[in-house]
Structure 1
Amino acid sequence: MNAHTGKLTAIRPFTPPAGDPGFGVYVHWPFCAAKCPYCDFNSHVRHQPVDQKRYVAAFAREIAEMARRSPGQRVTSIFLGGGTPSLMEPGTVAAILEAVAANWTVEDGAEITLEANPSSVEAERFRGYRAAGVNRVSLGVQALNDPDLRRLGRLHDVDQALGAIRLAREIFPRLSFDLIYARPDQTVEAWETELSRAMDLAADHLSLYQLTIEEGTAFYALHKAGKLVVPDGDLSADLYEATQRLTAARGLPAYEISNHAVPGAESRHNLTYWRYGLYAGIGPGAHGRLEGADGLRHALSNEKHPETWLKMVEDWDAGIADDEPLGPSEQADEMLLMGLRLVEGLDLKRWRSLTGRDVDPVVEADLKRHGMIERLGRDRIRATPAGMLVLDAVVADLA
């Protein structure tokens, strides 16, 4: 997509210059056909048709406002997430992408991802998304057996998932799909078989998440009542280690704690987050990190309720519920949390320039002694495989 024209161009990989994490635009479509019992994302079910034209107009207004707050940025990635973005009409997606291109410069070859559920996939709709400019799809497959799909509350079966994967591979240059593991009653052997099948189907990227029980979800209530039992810590660790071993052996090594790719096929949009780049958040419940007129990085978060967000944008051009300037300490903590998720680790030179401080040498020495972190040259630090298993604790110690 060329800046300000919206015309399609040949898709070429775009990699920001060394040390530049890029600038992303995240657009949140908050609506789903049903709420999954494990999901704590900002997603909502509406039993009447959503007025997509009204929402497109609001997205365009908020995009213009966020562009006003981030002048001179060049967009390297756009991510349409949710919710279920594949419930949008192709014309809705096209209008959103046109609005981004009308307000920022969009790099040729920018990564443009749309999340899709296999139950809402149609060939005509996929071709419409492709014509609109989408060049990467992320499918929410979640499991490759029907009993677990039903248990996870998914609306598709395995045959639909396989059909969606085949179709996506035909239409889009790049494809990723998600699986959840550490599910109730899952063994290491069963997961290894399922993961091997997934790698046979994969194009160049897989997102593999351990099931977590999040407060406020249906699974949380079942778990608290003892009606849902998930693997214990030891079994979860075994499942994680099997995941790392098998994906590495098949040429899809982890580049982040839950994401695996053929080298060069990593999600550039998510790397912008993890490398602590700036990004605009558009839509109900979206988050952003932009540099303010005060020279500080600002954490922006939008109103979550879709209809309330819609009215706010129509009245004031944005649905921002919170705008918090981040000082050096908050930036240091955020950058640690993001950077240590990556196999490439944390760029300490950039961390020092943003935060004005260095890692505590006593804490670093202690974590090294326990095999939790390691240095890569003078200016990079990363969690070891053992450290990845207890990453929250490692980050807390360093912070």
Structure 2
Amino acid sequence: PYCDFNSHVSNDVDTKIFGDALCTEMTHMASLMPSRPPVSSLFFGGGTPSLMPPILVERLIRHAEDLFGFTNDIEITAEANPTSVEAEAMLGFRKAGVNRVSMGVQSLDDAGLKFLGREHSAIDALKALDKVSKAFDRVSIDLIYALPDQSPKAWQAMLGQALSLGLGHLSLYQLTIETGTVFHTRQRRGEVMALDDDRAADLYEMTQQMSNAAGLPAYEISNHAAIGQECRHNLTYWQAGDWLGVGPGAHGRFALFDPAENRAIRNATVTRRSPAGWLDAVTANGHGIDETQIDSPADWASEMVMMGLRLTSGIDLGVIENLCGPCDDWLDGDGVEQAVAAGWLRRMPNQSKLMASDDGRLRLNHILSTILR
């Protein structure tokens, strides 16, 4: 009820046909990037990839390696729900080549899980997590906080429990009400679906303090990791890197050099959301791409600023200028100076590096509205 993921239910899925289609589309996506480096991250996500049989996962991994090649330290992540069935499936994924698991725990409180519409219990989650942690060196969990009436004491206890698990990565998200969700509909009817901004900010500050003390500092607004345990796949998003999306409802973004323009061009693809429609399209065309887009230099720059300022490492304006043209075309210098003066943005000594302060990350949307043209 709190997210708008591409979700479909079917009692009859032919994994052989879907596997063939996924490999076919992956081959097409690879052809869009003739000069491509080895893949450093492969991510099975978008819902419940753990429903796939391990033999299909292994096939997709091998096909990706044949097409792109892998770096020696490739990160291969699979998302899973924290149930005994999916935990068992992850053991098969481990043999197939997956080396990192992200579990959608969401809460360690049964009342919170019920509110979020999750079917597992807190005990189910902990048991599944224990099984997966014994098989994988790298495991992450998601937790959602700032639920209605959630007290600082309650969140402190839950976060403390999560930190005591000894994981190398935690994704800790404030509950936000997204348009098109059940929660959004209920909120429009007058129900209180999340904490007010001030109390949510208090919980955010507590989260930073506790995670830092536990050796899992934030490297992005909502993501915390021990050194070297950062999620490479998500870093690709936040650093506006290249990724290809394969499967129903998948998004891809990548840059290609255009000799005519004498610069790199940022491309975007979106595949059909409906699994049946996507399968028909792949059968007919060799891919399920439904939309394509070429970003203007200013749009690409905006993406790099918006995503990069979420990271504690910030952005390098010089790098963005080299790709997208002069700062004055896409950045409001007066707005930047005002944010720096307010203590929301910080400049490093070389003046090219810009990052959000702790206070700045709390109001990043406002900052972006004032600094982007």
* TM-score normalized with structure 1 length: 0.88
Instruction: Give the deviation of 1:292 after TM superposition.
Output: 4.2
CA contact (8 A) 1:87 1:120 kept: no
Residue 333 of structure 2, aligned match among 351, 361, 382: 361
Change in CA separation of 1:202 and 1:177 when aligned onto 2, cut-off 3 Å: farther
Answer yes or no: is 1:380 the counterpart of 2:353: yes
Residue 57 of structure 1, aligned match among 15, 20, 23: 20
Task: Find the counterpart in structure 2 of residue 82 from structure 1.
Answer: 46
Give the secondary-structure state (helix, strand or coil) at the position aligned to 2:355.
strand
Aligned residues: percent identity? 45
Q: Once the two structures are superposed, what CA deviation does each residue of 1:252-272 show, in whole Å capped at 9, x if it has no partner?
A: 110000000001110011111
Change in CA separation of 1:67 and 1:163 when aligned onto 2, cut-off 3 Å: same
Change in CA separation of 1:103 and 1:247 when aligned onto 2, cut-off 3 Å: same
Instruction: Give the deviation of 1:49 after TM superposition.
Output: 2.9
Task: Find the counterpart in structure 2 of residue 252 from structure 1.
Answer: 216
CA distance, structure 1, for counterparts of residue 12 and residue 152 of structure 2: 43
What is the identity, as a one-letter code, of the residue corresponding to 1:176? S
CA distance, structure 2, for counterparts of residue 78 and residue 194 of structure 1: 31
Change in CA separation of 1:277 and 1:210 when aligned onto 2, cut-off 3 Å: same
What is the identity, as a one-letter code, of the residue corresponding to 1:52? T
What is the identity, as a one-letter code, of the residue corresponding to 1:362? D
Answer yes or no: is 1:184 the counterpart of 2:148: yes
Task: Find the counterpart in structure 2 of residue 39 from structure 1.
Answer: 3
Residue 201 of structure 2, aligned match among 237, 262, 265: 237
Residue 286 of structure 1, aligned match among 228, 245, 250: 250
Instruction: Give the deviation of 1:234 after TM superposition.
Output: 0.5
Instruction: Give the deviation of 1:121 after TM superposition.
Output: 3.6
Q: Please tell me the root mean square deviation across aligned C-alpha atoms, in Å.
A: 1.4
Change in CA separation of 1:326 and 1:229 when aligned onto 2, cut-off 3 Å: closer
Residue 108 of structure 1, aligned match among 49, 72, 82: 72
Task: Find the counterpart in structure 2 of residue 24 from structure 1.
Answer: none
CA distance, structure 1, for counterparts of residue 348 and residue 288 of structure 2: 42
CA distance, structure 2, for counterparts of residue 50 and residue 217 of structure 1: 26
CA distance, structure 1, for counterparts of residue 193 and residue 174 of structure 2: 14
CA distance, structure 2, for counterparts of residue 122 and residue 45 of structure 1: 17
Instruction: Give the deviation of 1:291 after TM superposition.
Output: 2.8
Residue 348 of structure 1, aligned match among 309, 317, 328: 317
Instruction: Give the deviation of 1:293 after TM superposition.
Output: 6.6
Q: Once the two structures are superposed, what CA deviation does each residue of 1:230-281 show, in whole Å capped at 9, x if it has no partner?
A: 2111111111111111101111110000000001110011111111111111
Give the secondary-structure state (helix, strand or coil) at the position aligned to 1:44.
coil
CA contact (8 A) 1:119 1:155 kept: no
Give the secondary-structure state (helix, strand or coil) at the position aligned to 2:164.
helix
Give ranges in structure 1 of 5+ residues lacking alignment. Answer: 1-36
CA contact (8 A) 1:78 1:113 kept: yes
Task: Find the counterpart in structure 2 of residue 322 from structure 1.
Answer: 291
Q: What does 1:1-399 correspond to in 2, within 5 Å?
A: 37-46=1-10, 48-73=11-36, 74-119=38-83, 121-122=85-86, 124-292=88-256, 294=258, 295-358=264-327, 359-378=331-350, 379-399=352-372
What is the identity, as a one-letter code, of the residue corresponding to 1:345? G
Give ranges in structure 2 of 5+ residues lacking alignment. Answer: 259-263
CA distance, structure 2, for counterparts of residue 240 and residue 45 of structure 1: 35
CA distance, structure 2, for counterparts of residue 261 and residue 398 of structure 1: 29
Give the secondary-structure state (helix, strand or coil) at the position aligned to 1:229.
coil
Instruction: Give the deviation of 1:79 after TM superposition.
Output: 0.7
CA distance, structure 2, for counterparts of residue 293 and residue 342 of structure 1: 27
CA distance, structure 2, for counterparts of residue 202 and residue 164 of structure 1: 15
Instruction: Give the deviation of 1:202 after TM superposition.
Output: 3.9
Give the secondary-structure state (helix, strand or coil) at the position aligned to 2:45.
strand
Instruction: Give the deviation of 1:89 after TM superposition.
Output: 1.1
Q: Hey, which bits of structure 1, 4+ residues long, moved more than 4 A? A: none
* TM-score normalized with structure 2 length: 0.94
CA distance, structure 1, for counterparts of residue 193 and residue 123 of structure 2: 27
Give the secondary-structure state (helix, strand or coil) at the position aligned to 2:243.
strand
CA distance, structure 2, for counterparts of residue 45 and residue 152 of structure 1: 19
CA contact (8 A) 2:107 2:144 kept: yes
CA distance, structure 1, for counterparts of residue 79 and residue 334 of structure 2: 43
Change in CA separation of 1:356 and 1:103 when aligned onto 2, cut-off 3 Å: same
What is the identity, as a one-letter code, of the residue corresponding to 2:175? L
What is the identity, as a one-letter code, of the residue corresponding to 2:164? D
Task: Find the counterpart in structure 2 of residue 31 from structure 1.
Answer: none
Aligned length: 362
Change in CA separation of 1:286 and 1:120 when aligned onto 2, cut-off 3 Å: farther
